[in-house]
Structure 1
Amino acid sequence: MMTTSRVVSFLIAFVIAVPVMLTMFRDNGELTREGWVKSLIFAGSVAAIAAIAFGRSRQ
């Protein structure tokens, strides 16, 4: 179930994860469309896992 705290946890984790993933998926120091897509997908995955874990620890 999506609660406000999980949504906030997801957004915070997503905002932190995107720049980290962009750094990881740079192609020879340049940001490409493929790099952006990979970064957003992986950041969303990391943020979802963090939101689920944070939500369970508070219950």
Structure 2
Amino acid sequence: MSEQLLNALNRYYDTFDDSFPMAAMSGVGEGEVIEMIDRCVSEKTDVYDSGYLSGEGTY
């Protein structure tokens, strides 16, 4: 796991007081995960409200 991804995960946690669901992102590249996190943080919408995951945990 890169330092850039760790920093993004920390930003997500600091913004939403919740962990980003990395387990649901298996098979998704680090760059794409970082982009998702950046969008979520900038728009102040979590991974579910942003439409990246449904309540069932599918991408």
The reply to whether TM is greater than 0.5 is no
Of structures 1 and 2, the one scoring higher in RCO (CA 8 A, sep 6+) is 1
TM-score range, shorter chain: 0.3 to 0.5
Normalised to the residue count of structure 1, the TM-score between the two structures is: 0.36
Normalised to the residue count of structure 2, the TM-score between the two structures is: 0.36
Higher helix share: 1
